[in-house]
Amino acid sequence: MQLFPSTYFTYKNKQLYCEGVAVTQIVKQTGTPTYIYSKKYFEDASKEFDEAFRAVRHKIFYAAKSNFNLSVIKTFIELGSGVDVNSEGELYRALKAGAKPEKIILTSVGKTKNEIKLGLERDVLMIKAESEEEVYLINEIASSMNKIARVAIRVNPDVNPKTHPYISTGLSENKFGVDSETALKLFRKQKELKNILFTGIDMHIGSQITTLSPFVEAVEKLANLFLILKKEGLELIHFDIGGGIGIQYNDEKTFSVNKFAEALLPIVKKLNCEIIFEPGRYLTANAGILVTEVLYTKKNQHKNFLVVDAAMTDLLRPSIYGAYHHVQPVKLDESRSEIIADVVGPVCESGDFLAKERTIQKCEHGDLLAVMSAGAYGMVMASNYNARRKPAEILVTGNSFSIIRARETFEHLVFDEENYL
């Protein structure tokens, strides 16, 4: 049985700790399933990213979609990050967590009129437009409000990010952004669009990208577009590379943020503008685990099952993407033999699983398991299917921990319905 390599989740006396706190100590108070995050990981990853690009003017905008817990967003704000939001709900959360509007970017391939209006009312740093129609709509809404909208155009560079097709966003067949020719046409209409100020070019080619070449290819393409516009007299002030750096879930060969910087700095330095990054998964995924309790063990002619109290309603990624998350015991017991088992949840779907065909120490009722790399796209994708309550979330800081989201109550499950009975 292999253990996931981490300096933030380690074993002491065969018990799993997050930083200086035993996982068992946390779940005694919170129960299971529960998400646990390491604040030190957030801090270290953010500082590492910032330091890697010290050679150019840059800003980090944390991609709230990866983990929008208020305390998590607040942590990144306190570290100097802005916030990239993808809906009016994420905008509300960012403001609630303390983000200043001038450090918020409003993204989304399908913004409603209300979302555009809200972004303008709040005076966010910029709105990213993803279609020609949207540019005209932003101009119209801004005119009706007697405002000038700061707009970046998201350009789809038609680059294969070599990732899961569901999280590829930089190919021409994907719904995101506009092609370079359309972008060029729109930028050249700056004088006609009286209530828009174009401030930048944006890209985001996908998520969980584990090779550098797609980034280099995309940045080179859009840097050329940036320089064409500059030569024509349009002075853009932002070049937004987005996010997408892959992390280790299993045995992926990934690259460090320093290698990322080494590859991109020679290209972006010549732009002489502020470079924007929007990391999400890179900052949060390996900062978190999902702790679950073994309810039953069962065996048939074909395989072993560990039935646990966490489900696809708590961590959807394995079910929707076939994503790998390492699963390991919270308490190691070398006296137990190893088995190969599927780790499955209580939901009435055969697609409800957290892991398949995993080598793990033999488990018993009441044992705790840690699902690793669960800090990104975990709780944010949780649902109430089967009327299951959403789990608690915990933030560990050194030798102490705090509840940053209580387990959902039964009352909360029905609060917006019962008055209509």
Instruction: List, by residue number, the catalytic residues.
Output: 348
Using DSSP bridges, classify how beta strands 288-299 and 34-38 pair: parallel, antiparallel or unpaired.
antiparallel
Nearest to 393 by CA among 401, 384, 403: 403
Q: What is the DSSP string of 368-383?
A: EEEE-S-SSSSGGG--
State the greatest distance between any 2 C-alpha atoms of the chain, in Å, as a whole number: 75
Q: Alpha-carbon Rg of the chain, whole angstroms? A: 23
Phi first, then psi: give them for residue 121, nearest 5 degrees.
-60, -45
By residue count, the chain amounts to 421
Q: Residue 143 is which amino acid?
A: S
Do 59 and 27 meet the contact criterion of CB atoms below 8 Å apart? no
Q: Which residue has the tokens 């020609």?
A: 132
Looking from the CA of 172 toward its CB, the CA atoms found within 13 Å total 5
**DSSP state for residue 179 in the 8-state scheme:** -
**Sign for the pseudo-dihedral over CA of 46, 281, 100, 271:** positive
Do 96 and 117 meet the contact criterion of CB atoms below 8 Å apart? no
Find all residues with CB under 8 Å of 259, minimum gap 6, and list them. Answer: 212
Find all residues with CB under 8 Å of 133, minimum gap 6, and list them. Answer: none
